[in-house]
Chain A
Amino acid sequence: MKAVLIWIIVAAPLAWGVAKSIEKARPLFSSPPAENRAP
């Protein structure tokens, strides 16, 4: 139980960081290339 709690305390911020990065990376996959070309 103690070990699980310790791992959760450490893993939670990392999971939050990964989720934020995935959110940031989403446009890379969601937008068709032609619409996103710079002028």
Chain B
Amino acid sequence: MSILSREATVAAPGFSRWLVPPAAVAVHMCIGQVYAFSVFNKPLGAELGQDVFWVNIAYQIALAMLGISAAVFGKWVERSGPRKTMLASCLCFCGGLLLTALGVKLKSLWLIWAGYGFVGGIGLGLGYIAPVSTLVKWFPDRPGMATGMAIMGFGGGALIGSPLAQELMTRFARAPDTGAMSALMTMSALYACFMIFGAIIVRVPAADWKPEGYEPKAAAFHGMITTASVSVDTAWKTPQFWLLWTVLCMNVSAGIGVLGRAADMCQDMFGVSVAIGAGFTGLLSIFNMGGRFVWSSISDLTGRRTVYCIYFILGAALYALLPYTQQTQNRTLFVVCTALIISMYGGGFATIPAYLKDMFGTYQVGAIHGRLITSWSMAAVIGPLLINGLYYSRVEAGVPKSEAYNNTFYLMCGLLAVGLVANLLVRPVNSKHHIQEAPKA
């Protein structure tokens, strides 16, 4: 039996389940660095003599590979267990950073695309879904809180990755060297330490383990929580899977509406300085991270469908209020509204694994989650296209910049309305899809 196998990670009796979330957070806060890749755009562009646009393609490839690898390797992840997957994720992600550093040394844009985008992107997908089914099995009584904790780590990864890269580049910079190569290598080593630490401490529960006093209740939340299991190959053919795919896609697309242009939006709508625009982005990052834990924990109390209804209804109402904040120049109200919107954007990411567990059971929930997050990749592409397209068309039509966002906000309301309808259509999975006896995974 290899120390990497699933069997080797089965927890001994008396093991505290509260030691598992830190393992998940350790991995997620490293791979969450992808959100902070933009900090390397200018230094890499300068090192390679390339436009920032071409450097940023690496980020887009990485996000696309995140969805693709999570979908493709989901079943392997379930079979192999979290330790092997976390190590594979570490090899790919940290290896990708090293290849990027080599790309800087060799002045090869292709190597950066292949290293950070392709190889690193596979690491992102593996690392993102690795702890999901483990956490859901450890916390069947509070799956929202448990997965929310891990996915909060992913949001936190951006908060760490950006200042860390900046500080390292400042230390290593010796003109004309921007310090990017040394910073990437250092980050690779630091992240490898944390990811290996996560892989070492992670444990899966024994097959017959359950929390003390816990009894599964299928009738909870109007029968929206199943005690049965659905395999990944069946799950993705059910309407529930595609409704939840739509729910996540709309939630993410709408969130990107604010997040992608936060600094510009604040400056255009309120005429504030660049520093304040950057400060606004920093504040949103904190709410993006905190919302992941808070909202997904709330979903354990309210039920998943209810909490998504809150995201969509409250989110649309807040978006509809944003033009008013601009008209009245009420900056405080604008910050409060957008912070709440972004907290629900993060909450949407964090609540979806628990929603999948409610619908399809715990058997292959990590693999099902892997296939579902292709909607994130899709939203990451169509969201900014829609938002930027609409904004620039308004500016070209002669609308003042301060008012050019209004239609974008109303479009976001529309996307959230589509998500709300999809969410309201979700019903328990037909029992014909249930597997008769789930193998002990």
Binding site for B on A (CB under 8 A): 2-3, 6-7, 9-10, 13-14, 16-18, 20-29, 31, 33, 36-38
| Cβ contacts under 8 Å, B18 to chain A | 3
Is A36's CB under 8 angstroms from B276's CB?
yes
Chain A residues contacting B201 (CB-CB under 8 Å) are: 6
A2, A9, A27, A37: which contacts B279 (Cβ < 8 A)? A27
- Residues of chain B from 139 to 195 with CB closer than 8 A to chain A in the complex: 153, 156, 158-160, 162-163, 194
Our pick among A7, A21, A24, A37 for the contact of B272 (Cβ within 8 Å) is A37
Beta-carbon contact of B160 and A13 below 8 Å: yes
Q: Which residues of A contact B25 (CB under 8 A)?
A: 10, 14
Is B282 a contact of A21 with CB atoms below 8 Å?
A: yes
Given A9-B26, A16-B160, A31-B273; 15 other pairs, CB 8 A cutoff = A3-B16, A3-B18, A3-B19, A10-B22, A10-B26, A10-B29, A10-B194, A14-B25, A14-B29, A14-B160, A16-B163, A17-B158, A20-B159, A21-B159, A33-B331
Secondary structure type dominating chain A contacts: helix
* B286 and A14 contacting across the interface, CB-CB below 8 Å: no
| Contact pattern, B 23-44, Cβ under 8 Å of A = 1, otherwise 0 | 0011001000000000000000
Count contacts between A and B, CB distance < 8 Å: 91
Q: In the assembled complex, how far is the CB of residue B70 from the closest CB belonging to chain A, in whole angstroms?
A: 23
Checking A7, A17, A37 against B160 with a beta-carbon cut-off of 8 angstroms, the contacting residue is A17
Chain B nearest Cβ from A8, distance in angstroms:
9
- Chain B nearest Cβ from A15, distance in angstroms: 9
CB of B29 within 8 A of CB of A25, answer no
- 10 residue pairs A–B, Cβ–Cβ below 8 Å: A3-B19, A6-B19, A13-B160, A14-B159, A25-B280, A27-B276, A28-B283, A33-B331, A36-B275, A38-B271
Nearest-neighbor residue (CB-CB) of B158 within chain A: A17
Q: Is B273 within 8 A of A36, CB to CB?
A: yes
Closest chain A residue to B282, Cβ basis:
A24
**CB of B267 within 8 A of chain A?**
yes
Judge whether B278 is part of the interface by a CB distance below 8 angstroms. Answer: yes
B299 at the interface (CB under 8 A from A): no
Segment 257-291 of B: residues with Cβ below 8 Å from A:
267, 270-273, 275-276, 278-283, 285-286, 289
